[in-house]
Amino acid sequence: MKRTLSFVASALFLCLPVLAQAQEEPTLDTGDTAWMIVATALVLFMTLPGLALFYGGLVRAKNVLSVLMQCFAICSVMSILWVVFGYSLAVTGDGPIIGGLDYAFLRHMTVDSLSGTIPESVFVTFQMTFAIITPALIVGAFAERIKFSAVMLFSILWFVCSYIPIWHMAWSGNGLFHRWHVLDFAGGTVVHINAAMAGLVGCLMVGKRKGAFQEPIKPHSLPLTVVGASMLWVGWFGFNAGSAVGANGSAGMAMLVTQIACASSALTWMAMEWMKHGKASVLGIATGAVAGLVAITPASGNSGPMGAILIGVASAICCYLVAVKLKFVFKFDDSLDVFGVHGVGGIVGAILTGVVAAPALGGLGFADGVESMGQQVWGQTVSVLITIAWSGGVSVVLFFLVDKIVGLRVSSDSELRGLDLSDHDEQGYDL
C-alpha cells in the first residue's frame, strides 16, 4: 500500500508542470466575448453614423454628402486593408516600430483562435474599428475643398505609413513607447494626436476655404451635429471601456471616468461661453463634450473619478483657447477643429495621464517600472512628441505626393458649387 501511494505521489509530482501549463493556456470567456462584441459595434457606431453626422452638420448644405461619403468610403477601405496586412503589421514582430506579414490575410486564424479570453476574430474586428475612425477624423480638417480622390489616396497611404507604425509603437509588446513606460489605454497617441497632426498639415497644404476668416462659415444643421455628438458620447464607452478587452473592473472604471470627463468638459466649455458672451451655445457644449472624450481616452485605464474631472476641465480650457482663439490669430483653416479638439485634447490627456495615474490622486497606478509622477509624465511627453513628429512629417510627404498624382484641391468653380455636385453629382437637399 505504501509503495502504491509513493508511486501515485511521484506521478502527480511529475505531472505538475504539465498541469500548470494546461491551466495557463487561455480559455474563452463568454462574458468577455459578449462585452467585446458589443464594444466593437459601439466603436463602429462612432464613425457610422456618429462622426459622419457630427461632421455633416458642421459643413454647409452643399457639402454634406461629401463628408458622409468620405466617412463611408474610408470605413469600407480600411476594413479591407486591416485584414489584408494592417493587423499583421501592427501586432506581430519584435521590432520597435512596425511588425511583419506573418498574419497577412489572417491566414493564421481559425474559428478557435483566441486573443486572451476572446476569439481573435472579435479582437481583429474591434481594432479594425479604431483603424476606421482614425483616418475618418482627419477629413474634418480640410472639409469643403479637397478632392474625393485625394482623400482616398491620402487615407490609404497614411494608414500604412503613420497609423500602423504608431499603433505598433504604442500597443505591441515590443513597441518603442514601452521603453518609456508609456500609458495609452485607448488611443490618445494612436488615434487622436496621430490624426490631428495629419489634419493640421492637410488644412495648411490644401489651403483655406474661399471666404475663410473674411465672412462667417456657419454649420448648416446643428441638430445633425448634436445627434452625431450624442452618438459619439455613447459609442465612446465601447472605445474606452472596450479597451480593457474584457468584462472586468478595468472596463467598469474606464466607463465611469469617460462619463465624468465628458460631462466636466461640456460644462466647462458651456461656462466659458456663458461668461464671455452671456449665452451658452449648442455647438459649444457639443464640442466641449467631444474634447473631454478625447482627453480621457489615454487615461481611461489609469485615472480615478477625480482625475477625470481634472482632465475634463483642462481639456475644455485648452481646446477652447486653440479652436476659438488661436485658430483665428494664426488663420489656419481647420474646418471642423480636428487639431483644436482632437490634437490639443489628445496632448492634454496623454500628458495628464502621468499625473492622474498617481494613487495619491485616486489613480490606479503608474506603468510597471515607473516609480514617480515625474518619470511617468516624461514618458508620456516623449510619446506625444514622437507622434507629433512622425505623423506631421509623414503627412507632409504624403500630401505632396498626392498633390502630384491626383491634385489636392477642387477647382474654384467646384468649390463654389459644392462638393456634393462636383464630386458626386448629387445633392443632400433640394436647394
Residues 216/40, Cβ–Cβ less than 8 Å: no
Mean pLDDT over all residues of the chain? 94
pLDDT, one tens digit per residue, over 132-165 is: 999 999 999 999 999 999 999 999 999 999 999 9
Instruction: For helices 120-138 and 194-206, give the axis angle rounded to 10 degrees.
Output: 30
Q: Sorting pLDDT into bands at 50, 70 and 90, what band is 24?
A: low
Distances (CA, A) of 24 to 18, 20, 155, 250: 10, 6, 41, 21
Average pLDDT over residues 355-380: 95
Q: Sorting pLDDT into bands at 50, 70 and 90, what band is 13?
A: very low
pLDDT exceeds 90 at position 169 = yes
- Quick one: 338 exposed, middle or buried, by C-beta within 10 A (0-12, 13-18, 19+)? buried
pLDDT exceeds 70 at position 184 = yes
Q: How far apart are CA 200 and CA 394, in angstroms?
A: 12
Average pLDDT over residues 400-422: 97
pLDDT exceeds 90 at position 266 = yes
Percent of the chain clearing pLDDT 70 (strictly above): 94
DSSP 264-312: HHHHHHHHHHHHHHSS--HHHHHHHHHHHHHHHTTTTTT--HHHHHHHH
Q: What is the pLDDT of residue 173?
A: 87
Q: How far apart are CA 431 and CA 427, in angstroms?
A: 8
pLDDT, one tens digit per residue, over 62-75 is: 999 999 999 999 99
pLDDT exceeds 70 at position 22 = no
More confident residue, 2 or 230: 230
Q: How far apart are CA 421 and CA 66, in angstroms?
A: 9
pLDDT, one tens digit per residue, over 284-338 is: 999 999 999 999 999 999 999 999 999 999 999 999 999 999 999 999 999 999 9
Q: What is the pLDDT of residue 10?
A: 45
pLDDT exceeds 50 at position 8 = no
Average pLDDT over residues 229-257: 98
Q: Sorting pLDDT into bands at 50, 70 and 90, what band is 102?
A: very high
Q: What is the pLDDT of residue 25?
A: 77
Domains by residue range for the chain, with CATH: 43-419 (1.10.3430.10)
Which residue in the block uniquely carries the three cell numbers 480600411? 78
CA angle 215, 221, 226 (to 5 degrees): 120
pLDDT exceeds 50 at position 7 = no
pLDDT, one tens digit per residue, over 47-96 is: 999 999 999 999 999 999 999 999 999 999 999 999 999 999 999 998 99
Q: How far apart are CA 322 and CA 416, in angstroms?
A: 28
Phi-psi region of 113 (alpha: psi -120 to 50; beta: other; left: phi over 0): beta
The x, y and z cell numbers of residue 418, run together, are 459644392
Q: What is the pLDDT of residue 143?
A: 97
Q: Which residues pair with 425 in a beta bridge?
A: none
CA angle 166, 169, 172 (to 5 degrees): 120
The x, y and z cell numbers of residue 292, run together, are 473631454
Residues 197/395, Cβ–Cβ less than 8 Å: yes
